[in-house]
Amino acid sequence: MKHLYCDDTYVQILLSDEEVEKHWRPRPIIIDKDSNQIEIKEDWNYRQKQYAQMRKRKVKLLENVYCTSHMGYIFFVSYVTGKVYNYKENEYTHVVEDNCIYMIRKSDGERKLIYKEGQFFVSKRVWLRESSPQMSDSHYLGSVLRQRKGDRVSYFYLKDHHLIAVLFFGEEAIYAIGDEINGNGKFQINHRNLYIYDNRPENLEIVTNSENIAHRKIMYGVYENLIREKHGANSEIFWLEDQVMNLTLAS
């Protein structure tokens, strides 16, 4: 949800996919969402290659549920919700039985149901964990991956919208990630309804920097027109940042 104050009234609002499409271009078409094919290029940087490897490791577990891995972590991705979950591979494993997913703790063999009928079940710190802004290096949803090899500790800051774009858009998302890292801003991964925690593939697209600027202007205009239709043409609107509201509502 987008959050704002209209005059002195707190308002939550989110554009539907259909409403976005009325004012912006059509949603990207994903021809084969099960594909994990990608050719890793020599001139890609470290992060691009790591995300590309995660696409190559992508496996379909159930309808609209996918799995990949990186640096000793297993990731589950819901195509329907755009949510990402993870667990540590050295502590747990998982099995798929009767359209459900169970995790098994390696130390004692304890089993736990973590997925049934389209819903994942998460825990705090143990078993299955859900991505959060606090676990990323920025205000986007993500995770900090930590791997120790001898005296050396490596970190990888994963952003959910980067991972989902790579898993389902492939190479063009890899180039957008590279542009973001290099700071040239030629291509970017954009949230169509402007809500940065809505990482459904239908809400993501690859755009140029100029397209992103134009898109934000158009979509904020659509939001504000809808708000003023309901609350009055002369209403004053003050937008609240998504990351601030996420932390507030979660506390």
Give the H or E element holding residue 113: strand 111-116
Domain ranges of the chain: 2-250
Secondary structure of residue 7 in the 3-state scheme: coil
Output the six-digit token pair for 117: 């009928």
Would you say residue 245 has pLDDT above 80? no
Alpha-carbon gap, residue 55 to 82, rounded angstroms: 16
* Cα–Cα distance list, 219 to 22, 68, 232 (Å): 10, 33, 19
At residue 47 the predicted structure's pLDDT band, cuts being 50, 70 and 90, is very high
Q: What is the pLDDT of residues 107-127, one digit of tens each?
A: 999 999 999 999 999 988 899
Say what the pLDDT of residue 251 is.
40
Q: What is the pLDDT of residues 157-171, one digit of tens each?
A: 999 999 999 999 999
Question: Residues 6 or more apart from 52 whose CB is under 8 A from it?
Answer: 38, 40, 44, 166, 174
Of 233, 245, 230, the closest CA to residue 4 belongs to 245
Alpha-carbon gap, residue 76 to 70, rounded angstroms: 12
Q: What is the pLDDT of residues 11-32, one digit of tens each?
A: 999 999 999 999 999 998 999 9
Residue 160: Cβ within 10 Å count: 24
